[in-house]
């Protein structure tokens, strides 16, 4: 295929037309939000509102009841904020909680990309909610849509003395790759409207076509890999020495989404293409996105992610094209410490400057008071004390940051009062993740976060039976093959196929270097547990010294894969 053919496809997908017609992501969204005849928006509106951080959804548990009453489905909106690196301050948390309590379901959800979502915001409350965010100096711009999404970065401050510097790159890159448009202000914040005959803002990166598909960047500082750095369009792995950050090894073309039964779609681990100095990180990310803008597939959305562009054109072609656009030479990748884990460092940590951090477990990122584990009340009270920052982790947990020694006892007391401890929690549960799935996700084929606690309990029972309860086995569930809970990068990965049925994927590693492989194509809980029972038994008697379950499963089940 010639470059011209690649750049000028014949049959653009419908969404491509929407983007070009949108006049800088405005479209008729403002009018649609004023239409109170329906709680829904048009197909065009659905695509456009994603760029503003929102998805229209309905409560799937209530569909039958609504249909019986001849009512339209119970539509509402999910709004996802853009919080690069997951950091906000205590006042922002209090404001978000207040906004969620009064305008959404009251349950803030910490996502696998280090930000938070509100669910159940009805149309009439969309503008007031966005205004709440603005008053807190937060926004939802580009949290979804065919643009660069929230940039995530490793949360653990102890990985290197330059961790804080690495962390700042999340914000810098996010800002550098933001769409240049006043649409957000106009639609949600009563900003001055662009007249019909006025030209839209110049956007050198996105132009009027944006990217062919969503685009994700993750940064990590070895040896911690909580962001699963190889599964994003761009993964930056910090390279430094002593106190000094030198730059990043760059991985490109990771991504997890797939469609059942379509072999042209697949999860893919990124390729490391070399080392870049830190001063070139912003420009490199921008140019990688620009190459994808110019060469990504705009005819078939299920072939549009960067991973498919690379596989279609070849890694050498892609890197060659990138190199032509950069004013420096990408160097060979530099040695970095091996990744050792992905789970969060729960409890207290002290950094090299004597500041303290406390990571608290939040099951599937849902900030609620449940069964005596009152994380919502605890977070509120901690924020009211104003003694720390809040950092959401890519494992859907929360870290209280930059705490003075003198305030540690205060935080401990609040946590104790609200039952926040992981002392009685087994390692597998601490590190388990699931995506949202039912009832809000329109794409869910099976349960996700609602099923996780029960499933993990059953895995733990098997671990206990085989004497391996003290070992963390990365266990993740997603309600469909899109992989939002990163279940393709788990030692035990469940991928929803039908109600109560999952693809069981095994053989991923604990450190996040290797994706797993399907072992059972469509299994119910009984089959999955029987399989794990047998495998745990063999693992205990056959594993090599210090071999983890994922490595054992990979070696024995897929040796030739």
Residue 409 burial class via C-beta count within 10 angstroms: exposed 0-12, middle 13-18, buried 19 and up: exposed
Triad 178, 208, 187: Cα angle to 5°: 65
Minimum Å gap between C-beta 78 and ligand SRM is: 5
Show Cβ contacts of residue 155 under 8 Å, excluding neighbours closer than 6 positions. Answer: 86, 114, 226, 344, 359, 391, 392, 393, 394, 399
- The torsion angles phi and psi of 356, rounded to 5 degrees, stand at -110, 155
C-beta atoms surrounding 243 within 10 Å: 10
Q: How far apart are CA 405 and CA 417, in angstroms?
A: 20
Q: What string marks each residue from 255 to 294 as x (binds ligand SRM by CB under 6 A) or -?
A: xxx-------------------------------------
Binding letters toward ligand SRM, positions 49-78, x by CB under 6 A? ------x-x--------------------x
Helices in 121-263 by DSSP H: which ranges? 123-135, 163-176, 183-188
Q: Is 478 in the site for ligand SF4 (CB under 6 A)?
A: yes
- What does 494 interact with, of ligand SRM, ligand SF4, none (CB < 5 to 8 A by kind)? none
Q: Does 554 bind ligand SRM (CB under 6 A)?
A: no
Contact (CB, 8 A) for 78 and 55:
yes
Contact partner, 173, from ligand SRM, ligand SF4, none, Cβ < 5-8 Å per class: none
| Residues recognised as catalytic | 80, 149, 214, 216, 435, 441, 480, 484
Give the one residue of 343, 479, 507, 508 binding ligand SF4; rule: CB under 6 A.
479
Query: Which listed residue (25, 435, 462, 515) binds ligand SF4 by CB under 6 A?
Result: 435
Identify which of residues 280 and 391 has a Cβ nearer to ligand SRM in the complex.
391
When binding is defined by CB under 6 A, the residue of 483, 493, 512, 550 that contacts ligand SRM is: 483
Nearer to ligand SF4 among residue 71 and residue 443 (C-beta): 443
Q: Does 484 engage in binding with ligand SF4 (CB under 6 A)?
A: yes
Q: Is residue 342 a contact residue for ligand SRM (CB under 6 A)?
A: no
Angstrom distance (rounded) from CA 210 to CA 222 = 32
Among positions 438-457, residues that touch ligand SF4 (CB under 6 A) are: 441, 443-444, 448
The one of ligand SRM, ligand SF4, none whose footprint includes residue 479, by CB under 5 to 8 A per kind, is ligand SF4
Residues 479, 446 contacting (CB under 8 angstroms): yes
Using the contact rule CB under 6 A, the part of the chain among 23-31, 182-190, 227-235, 477-485 near ligand SF4 is 477-485
Cα distances from 323 to residues 273, 274, 283, 311, in angstroms, run: 11, 11, 12, 18
* Binding flag, residue 115, ligand SRM (CB under 6 A): yes
Residue 438 Cβ vs ligand SRM, minimum distance, rounded to whole Å: 9
Q: Which residue has tokens 């656009």?
A: 325
Binding mask 291-330 for ligand SRM (x = CB under 6 A): --------------x-------------------------
Helices (H) and strands (E) in the chain, counts: 18, 22
Q: What sign does the dihedral 242-87-271-11 (CA atoms) show? A: negative
Q: How far apart are CA 93 and CA 338, in angstroms?
A: 35
Counting beta carbons within 10 angstroms of the beta carbon of residue 377, is it exposed (0 to 12), middle (13 to 18) or buried (19 or more)? middle
CB 52 within 8 A of CB 98: no
112 touches ligand SF4 (CB under 6 A): no
| Complex with ligand SF4: residue 411 or 480, whichever CB lies closer | 480
Residues near ligand SF4 (CB under 6 A), total: 13
Segment interacting with ligand SF4, rule: CB under 6 A, options 146-154, 369-377, 400-408, 434-442: 434-442
- In angstroms, the CA 547 to CA 553 distance is 10
Site string for ligand SRM, 116-135 (x = CB under 6 A): -x------------------
The listed partner (ligand SF4, ligand SRM, none) that binds 149, CB under 5 to 8 Å by sort, is ligand SRM
Task: Go through 509-546 and write b for each residue having 16 or more CB atoms within 10 A of its CB, e for each that does not.
Answer: bbbbebbbbebbeebeeeebbebbeebbeebeeebeee
The minimum distance between CB 223 and ligand SF4, in angstroms, equals 28
Report if residue 144 touches ligand SF4, rule: CB under 6 A: no
Q: Which stretch binds ligand SRM (CB under 6 A): 251-259, 322-330, 416-424, 511-519?
A: 251-259
Residue 153 binds which entry of ligand SRM, ligand SF4, none, CB below 5-8 Å type-dependent: none
Own/partner contacts of 236-242, CB < 8 Å, gap of 24 or more, are 236/169, 236/281, 236/285, 237/272, 237/336, 238/160, 238/162, 238/166, 238/336, 239/275, 239/334, 239/336, 240/160, 240/162, 242/161
Which runs of E-coded beta strand occur in 384-427? 389-392, 398-403
Binding stretches for ligand SRM (CB under 6 A): 55, 57, 78, 80, 111-113, 115, 117, 149-150, 214, 216, 231, 255-257, 305, 365, 396, 435-436, 440-443, 482-486
Binding stretches for ligand SF4 (CB under 6 A): 435-437, 441, 443-444, 448, 478-480, 482-484
């Amino acid at each position: 295929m010639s470059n011209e053919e690649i750049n000028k496809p014949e049959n653009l997908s419908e969404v491509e037309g929407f983007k070009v017609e949108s006049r800088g992501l405005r479209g008729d969204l403002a009018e649609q939000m004023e239409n109170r005849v329906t709680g829904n928006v048009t197909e065009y509106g659905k695509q456009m509102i994603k760029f503003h951080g929102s998805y229209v959804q309905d409560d799937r548990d209530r569909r039958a009841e609504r249909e019986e009453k001849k009512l339209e489905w119970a539509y509402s909106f999910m709004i996802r904020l853009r919080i690069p690196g997951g950091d906000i301050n205590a006042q922002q948390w209090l404001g978000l909680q207040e906004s969620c309590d009064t305008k959404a379901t009251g349950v803030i959800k910490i996502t696998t990309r280090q930000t938070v979502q509100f669910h159940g915001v009805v149309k009439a409350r969309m503008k007031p909610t966005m205004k709440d965010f603005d008053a807190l100096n937060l926004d939802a711009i580009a949290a979804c849509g065919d643009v660069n999404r929230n940039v995530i970065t490793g949360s653990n401050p102890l990985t290197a003395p330059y961790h804080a510097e690495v962390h700042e790159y999340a914000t810098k890159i996010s800002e550098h790759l933001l769409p240049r448009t006043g649409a957000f202000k106009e639609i949600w914040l009563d900003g001055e409207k662009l007249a019909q005959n006025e030209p839209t803002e110049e956007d050198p990166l996105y132009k009027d076509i944006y990217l062919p598909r969503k685009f994700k960047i993750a940064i990590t500082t070895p040896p911690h890999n909580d962001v699963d750095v190889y599964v994003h369009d761009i993964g930056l792995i910090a390279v430094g020495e002593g106190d000094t950050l030198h730059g990043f090894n760059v991985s490109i073309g990771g991504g997890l989404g797939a469609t059942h039964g379509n072999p042209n779609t697949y999860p893919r681990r990124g390729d490391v293409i070399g080392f870049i100095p830190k001063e070139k990180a912003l420009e490199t990310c921008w140019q990688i996105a620009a190459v994808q803008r110019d060469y990504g597939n705009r005819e078939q959305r299920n072939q549009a992610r960067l991973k498919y562009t690379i596989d279609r054109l070849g890694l050498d072609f892609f890197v060659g094209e990138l190199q032509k656009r950069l004013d420096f030479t990408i160097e060979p990748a530099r040695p970095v410490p091996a990744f050792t884990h992905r789970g969060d460092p729960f409890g207290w940590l002290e950094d090299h400057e004597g500041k303290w951090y406390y990571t608290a477990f939040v099951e599937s990122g849902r900030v609620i008071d449940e069964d005596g584990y009152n994380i919502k009340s605890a977070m509120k009270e901690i924020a009211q004390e104003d003694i720390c920052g809040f950092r959401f982790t890519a494992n859907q947990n929360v870290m209280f940051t930059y705490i003075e020694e003198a305030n540690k006892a205060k935080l401990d007391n609040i946590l104790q009062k609200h039952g926040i401890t992981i002392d009685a929690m087994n390692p597998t549960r601490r590190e388990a993740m699931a995506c949202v799935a039912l009832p809000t996700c329109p794409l869910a084929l099976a349960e996700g976060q609602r099923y996780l606690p029960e499933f993990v309990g059953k895995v733990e029972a098997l671990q206990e039976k085989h004497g391996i309860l003290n070992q963390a086995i990365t266990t993740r569930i997603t309600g469909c093959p899109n992989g939002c809970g990163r279940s393709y990068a788990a030692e035990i990965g469940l991928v929803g196929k039908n109600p109560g049925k999952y693809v069981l994927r095994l053989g991923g590693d604990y450190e996040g270097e290797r994706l797993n492989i399907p072992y059972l194509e469509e299994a119910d809980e009984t089959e999955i547990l029987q399989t794990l029972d047998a495998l745990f038994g063999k693992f205990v008697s056959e594993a090599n010294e210090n071999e983890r379950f994922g490595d054992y499963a990979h070696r024995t089940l897929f040796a030739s894969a």
